[in-house]
Structure 1
């Protein structure tokens, strides 16, 4: 693939760290990579946004592009309206990603929050951008209680739009998983209608770039460039 859209079931569940992991593994295979953040919210001028954080973790050779930045930590459409700024549309995202795909081997488009969070006043979403790009969508999910419903709803929304779910990655696997987390590992793929492709440990975003790159391979499945195995993982936590 040349473009991969990365969405989540919610906010603050590890999308940026998963994005950085994929970028690091692609770079290790010699691919040129760019992280595209359509709309960054809740970050001021000069502060590190998600795309820049992904590049910091993934290391040299990964580029960052941000289409818009809105100061308040809200959905992009709401944040743009309140700031009196022009929102980003799905076409803006698709056009930018398509152009970047002519310059880089892999374009990682990291959304804000969930799949259907509104980008603009017309109701455009990341799903609309993915459809314009005809790009697969990777779903990042939390492991805790309640995630199965969110993952199933996201999977159904993708299928209803004729989009391909690349798979599911757990974005913040705890050091000491409880009963809900351990049971959810077995069911996530079925709920998503797509394979479980990784589990990134909680706190991975706090690693320095060298250790992050060294460990990323063990967090993601071969489909994403790593060595992680869903069956082995499920057996180890069950």
Structure 2
């Protein structure tokens, strides 16, 4: 799969691992778009999660955001088992169709002003037995942002994913910190995810931080949009 474009009105939101806040960041940015950037045309933004294994993400997008997309338009390939895509597909007696994912992505882009693409797992997560998220980011020529959870290991996981991005010549625009742990002090956050160290080692900017959001706040468009106000979204193309 080789992309025939060099730029795209889109952004890939990936992370250092699974369950680290990609969906929260995606939803917060989408809520910001709908609330502040295009309040008169909120459905001008598209949400795309090419593959989903297990319920959760696209259901949240449909429940919380003002979208005019069907479940299949958000996620063309959906598997019940919460496992890596090639394993979940095998258990369902199906295969990952990379051509379908690319086709549906282009169709969505032709209908929207901007498309947020949420990756599955980190850049090293497998989409097939031979293809990982980093391959997709490269082949689709997707500007990319890396979500990093504020917890032990944040620096090392960041540097590993940045190295993978550079090895694949991915257009990695920067890093967004996400706070998955409640009641962290500013001092604790600084110790776990020191911005100066991350920026120095990664040679990339930290574009802001999403605060910890309680489960009910993740369902509130106003609070989600406010959580994204501290992000440098212009540098991400929005």
Q: TM-score range by the shorter chain?
A: 0.7 to 0.9
Secondary structure of 1:194's aligned partner: coil
- Say if 2:108 is the partner of 1:108: no
CA offset at residue 56 of structure 1? 3.2
Higher relative contact order (CA 8 A, sep 6+): 2
CA contact (8 A) 1:142 1:170 kept: yes
For residues 116 and 214 of structure 1, do their structure 2 counterparts lie closer, same or farther at Cα, with a shift above 3 Å needed? closer
For residues 56 and 191 of structure 1, do their structure 2 counterparts lie closer, same or farther at Cα, with a shift above 3 Å needed? farther
Aligned pairs (5 A) from 1:111-150: 111-121=119-129, 123-150=130-157
Secondary structure of 1:131's aligned partner: helix
RMSD: 2.3
TM-score, normalised with respect to structure 2: 0.81
Aligned to 1:33: 45
For residues 185 and 191 of structure 1, do their structure 2 counterparts lie closer, same or farther at Cα, with a shift above 3 Å needed? same
CA offset at residue 196 of structure 1? 0.9
Aligned pairs (5 A) from 1:166-185: 166-172=173-179, 174=181, 175-177=183-185, 181-183=189-191, 184-185=193-194
Aligned to 1:236: none
CA offset at residue 203 of structure 1? 2.3
CA offset at residue 72 of structure 1? 1.5
Aligned to 2:79: 70
Name the CA distance, whole Å, in 1 between partners of 2:45 and 2:173: 18
For residues 147 and 72 of structure 1, do their structure 2 counterparts lie closer, same or farther at Cα, with a shift above 3 Å needed? same
> Which stretch of the first structure deviates more once superposed, 200-209 or 31-40?
200-209
For residues 185 and 97 of structure 1, do their structure 2 counterparts lie closer, same or farther at Cα, with a shift above 3 Å needed? farther
CA contact (8 A) 1:151 1:191 kept: no
CA offset at residue 160 of structure 1? 0.9
Unaligned runs of 5+ in 2: 1-7
CA offset at residue 204 of structure 1? 4.9
Secondary structure of 1:120's aligned partner: coil
Name the CA distance, whole Å, in 2 between partners of 1:136 and 1:101: 14
Name the CA distance, whole Å, in 2 between partners of 1:22 and 1:5: 12
Aligned pairs (5 A) from 1:43-122: 43=55, 49-57=56-64, 59-61=65-67, 63=69, 65-89=74-98, 91-121=99-129
For residues 185-209 of structure 1, the C-alpha deviation after alignment (integer angstroms, 9 at most, x for no partner) is 3222334332111211222553142
| Residue-pair matches, total | 217
CA offset at residue 102 of structure 1? 1.0
Aligned to 1:19: 26
Aligned to 2:229: 218
Structure having the higher strand fraction is 1
Name the CA distance, whole Å, in 1 between partners of 2:153 and 2:27: 25
Name the CA distance, whole Å, in 1 between partners of 2:114 and 2:186: 36
Aligned to 2:3: none
Secondary structure of 1:18's aligned partner: helix
